[in-house]
Amino acid sequence: MFVDPTTLRARFAARLSDLYGTEVPAYTTLLTVSGEVNRRVLARDGADAERLGSIERVTAERHGAIRVGSPRELAQVARIFGALGMRPTGFYDLRDAYPRPIPVISTAFRPIDRDELAANPFRVFTSMLVPEDRRFFSADLEERLRRFIDERTLFAPEVLELADRAEAGGGLESADADRFLTLATESFALSREPVDRAWYDELERVSAVAADIGGVARTHINHLTPRVLDIDDLYVSMQARGVEMIDAIQGPPGWEGPDVLLRQTSFRALAEPRVYRETDGSLVEGTMRVRFGEVEARGIALTPAGRDIYDRAMEDQARWSEYWPATERELHDRGLAFFTYRVADEPPAGLPPEAATGVDLVAGGWLVAEPIVYEDFLPRSAAGIFASNLTGTGSTDAGQGGADRDLAWLAERIGRTINVPEELYAAQSLASLRAARERLRQVAR
């Protein structure tokens, strides 16, 4: 039996979820509570609950987060996720992000086609250290960091070779698929190898994230995030079970109108046992606090015009509702969010004018607009999520020395196109408008 990328992705997501559940038991509680919340919303809101994704999709939906040290490592990650039909999408620079600078740049690997997202929406937020950024690292520390990272092996040659075969051939035979999934999942398990205490501590004084990336010989899944339909309910329900949540829900505030973009919250990092190698060579049992439990709720994808409003409204959250229209329909008509189109159940007789826009066609009753769910991340929330779960403040020179990094630079370094989220949403919207117009013509005939 041949296993296609969609099936590989679904199986990988399930295996990673099982692994993370054994490593972080509170994650299993989070899944239980998420399931309860989603069932409550479905019972309360009926079909409306599924407006931004079927309950099957939302229940299976996860995003993971991983962190790597160099373009070489990121390119390897891209090969593994490439085998699973996940494409690098979006560029996030967290180095000068509010509320605290984090020495990484990031992208997210995810399916980009609507059908693929519907079949299995698994995505992984992937961050890469920027050791050449002088605001964080001295030239000497950069040099030692690079050497450490260049000498380690995150992924065995076999898993990369299988990944390449899967990507080139559009899948793998059963036995190879199993082997690939086993090796790929293992690559993201928490390592039991001893951690060099002095090296780890030196990096942690600069940044806890730098220590998590460059202070250990392996990478690991940092968190695995389920999606809920009501994050306010989830937050309260987790607290009621005695799980200490971070202070706030990141992203837009909850309100009566349509949810936009992404809201996230998490519970605090858990201390996990690790073995340290002390300077005298002795091995000592200790703990490390780098992983946490996160949960998210997704809203409508915003156009650049909507995103401008979002940025302003986030600075003035007490007056949030004054910035936004109260209905999805107005978001559509004012061009603030992305929508797809379908022909109305009973469109008016005759053809609309050739020049009619999407707004005209919806207003005239020919087409119905359906919201496109936001499939990406928010740098400000990401920085907030990083920061709210770190201990220690690290040290940064606010001044000069930040290396220029952008999407084009990163794409070049990993040798792959990095998709721009807003371009994907716009293309999807336009394609569906064209198809709906064509169907209108057929109906009129």
Instruction: Please choose, out of 268-276, 286-294, 401-409, 435-443, the segment that lies near Ni ion by the rule CB under 5 A.
Output: 286-294
Instruction: Please choose, out of 16-24, 63-71, 204-212, 309-317, the segment that lies near Ni ion by the rule CB under 5 A.
Output: 63-71
Query: For residues 206 and 384, what is the distance between their CA atoms, to the nearest angstrom?
Result: 18
Binding at 377: pick from Ni ion, ligand OOG, none (beta carbon under 5-8 Å per type): ligand OOG
Site mask, ligand OOG, residues 236-265, x = CB under 6 A?
A: ----------------------------x-
| 109, 125, 137, 180: which one binds ligand OOG (CB under 6 A) | 125
DSSP 221-269: --EEEEB-S-HHHHHHHHHHTT--B-SS-BSSPP-SS--BSEEEEEEEE
Q: Are 182 and 11 in contact (CB under 8 A)?
A: no
Kindly state the smallest distance separating residue 51's Cβ from Ni ion, in Å.
Answer: 23
| 386, 387, 421, 425: which one binds ligand OOG (CB under 6 A) | 386
Q: Return the DSSP state at 350.
A: S
- Closest residue to ligand OOG, judged by C-beta, is 382
Kindly state the smallest distance separating residue 20's Cβ from Ni ion, in Å.
Answer: 13
Contact positions with ligand OOG (CB under 6 A) in 276-295: 294
Instruction: Please choose, out of 169-177, 292-300, 333-341, 364-372, the segment that lies near Ni ion by the rule CB under 5 A.
Output: 292-300
Residue in 222, 184, 183 with CA at minimum distance from that of residue 82: 184
| 65, 234, 246, 373: which one binds ligand OOG (CB under 6 A) | 65
Binding at 222: pick from Ni ion, ligand OOG, none (beta carbon under 5-8 Å per type): ligand OOG
**Site size for ligand OOG (CB under 6 A):** 12
Residues forming a β-bridge with 128: 68, 105
What backbone phi and psi angles, to 5 degrees, belong to 12? -65, -45
Kindly state the smallest distance separating residue 60's Cβ from ligand OOG, in Å.
Answer: 17
DSSP 53-121: S-HHHHHH-EEEEEEESSHHHHHHHHHHHHHTT-EEEEEEE-TT-SSS--SEEEEEEE--SHHHHHH--
Helix, strand counts (H, E) of the chain: 18, 12
Binding at 386: pick from Ni ion, ligand OOG, none (beta carbon under 5-8 Å per type): ligand OOG
User: Which residue type, as a one-letter code, is found at position 153?
Assistant: T
Q: Are 234 and 299 in contact (CB under 8 A)?
A: no
Query: For residues 142 and 203, what is the distance between their CA atoms, to the nearest angstrom?
Result: 10
Binding residues (CB under 6 A) for ligand OOG: these are: 65, 67, 125, 127, 222, 264, 294, 377, 381-382, 385-386
